[in-house]
Amino acid sequence: MSDDTTDVYLDNHATTRTDPRVVEAMLPFFTEHFGNAASSSHSFGRDAADAVEIARAEVAQLVGALPREIVFTSGATEANNLALKGLVHVSQQPHLVVSTIEHPSILDPTLRLERNGCRVTRIGCDNNGQIDPDHVAAAIEPDTTLVSIMWANNEVGTINPVDRIARECARHGVVFHSDAVQALGRVEIDCQSLPVGLLSLSAHKIHGPKGVGALVVRRSENRIRIAPQIEGGGHESHLRSGTLPVPLIVGFGTACRLAGELIESETVRLDQLARQLVDGITSRLPGVSLNGHPELRLPGNVHLGFDNIDGDALMAGLKRIAVSSGSACTTADPEPSHVLAAMNVPESLARASLRFGLGRFNNSDHIDVAVNEVVATVQRLRNHDD
């Protein structure tokens, strides 16, 4: 572990602190109710299975799905891979439509599928990081198997017009998949009212445990057929084999229940904190721009670019706050963010951008610390360059 310490955690799009209520719900399933949910011949297994089904219903309720439509996975990366590869596996001459600003767990599998003969159409976004439903419709061809567009962007927080995109896909008879990891628990999701075929979710973005997620597989009249990518036991309706991690699933369910209970009040509170952060920084610093849609963005997401600043020096200078320069899955890549590049953000500004992810355990005092830290660091760097 690093000896460096920071005062304030503001990187909640990368991961979140597990809510103590979630931990409390999980603990008995490590030591007391430790049975295998597939062992139906005794009470230990049946108790575990019952807990899994309660959690399945809690996850389903948060997204407006049916419990039997929830397929537990190790996380959203696996869910995204299962959605894309599983659907392509059962398709003839598959054609995929994806956006250029998807998470790497969509972009990388897409590249592999393309190398294996799958045709792929990639559509760009506007300067706010939003996907145009008309561009999606124009990209759909007679043999299109799947359209995959994220619900909300994990870097700049822009929310896509998923309702219109989903309806365009339905009009063309094409399965629509959405990576809804960042949207889960932050915006209303109702699969019953939208023709969404597949939806990827993750627990650790909503104050749940790491290592568990889900793929929602809708059971419509035209049942979606996907091939399992992990076999050996027939778990999860034969779509994802492997002993179920009961404590993690219980934690996921509890996190979803809490998120549903808090979504309205948290939306208001996080929006207020975000405005405090933006106003505090921009009122004291010139040359600061907001990346992403100015209004249609995730509660608590603030993505700022700083003129005339070396990005590496900026990140190195922020000692008191935990923030990021982009997706946690791409921070090892020295190249500028592919999302900001797609939004036509100049490379110099893209390299000097910060992503703030505000969460359940942040408060106004934390924002004051962040404002002071960012302002002091930027002023120091600019004065040094002068």
pLDDT at 93: 77
Note the Cα 56 to chain centre separation in Å: 19
pLDDT at 233: 83
3-state secondary structure of 200: strand
Give the CATH number of domain 8-17+263-385: 3.90.1150.10
Asked if CATH classification 3.40.30.20 holds for the domain at 21-257, the reply, yes or no, is no
What is the tens place of the pLDDT at every residue in 67-112?
999 999 999 999 999 999 999 999 877 999 999 999 999 999 999 9
Whole-structure pTM value: 0.94
Angle at 306 between CA 304 and CA 307, to 5 degrees: 145
Catalytic status, residue 329: yes
φ, ψ (nearest 5 deg) of residue 264: -70, -50
3-state secondary structure of 98: strand
How many CB atoms are located within 10 Å of the residue 197 CB? 26
Q: What number is the average pLDDT over the span 353-361?
A: 97
Place of tokens 């009212």: 193
Q: Which of 118, 125, 191, 329 is catalytic?
A: 329
pLDDT at 228: 87
Q: What number is the average pLDDT over the span 44-55?
A: 94
Q: Over 70: is that where the pLDDT of 278 sits?
A: yes
CA nearest neighbour of 329 among 339, 320, 341, 321: 339
Amino acid identity for residue 268 in this structure? V
Residue 386 confidence class, pLDDT cut points 50, 70, 90: low
Phi/psi-derived region of residue 134, left when phi > 0, alpha when psi is between -120 and 50, beta in every other case: alpha
Q: Over 60: is that where the pLDDT of 333 sits?
A: no
DSSP secondary structure of 239-286: TS-S---HHHHHHHHHHHHHHHHHHHHHHHHHHHHHHHHHHHHHTT-S
Residue 234 confidence class, pLDDT cut points 50, 70, 90: confident
Amino acid identity for residue 203 in this structure? A
CA–CA gap between residue 284 and residue 376 (Å, rounded)? 10
Range list of β-strands (E), the chain: 8-9, 70-73, 95-99, 119-123, 144-148, 175-179, 198-202, 213-217, 288-290, 301-306, 321-322, 353-357
Q: Are 260 and 187 in contact (CB under 8 A)?
A: no
For the chain, the domains span 8-17+263-385, 21-257
Residue 122 confidence class, pLDDT cut points 50, 70, 90: very high
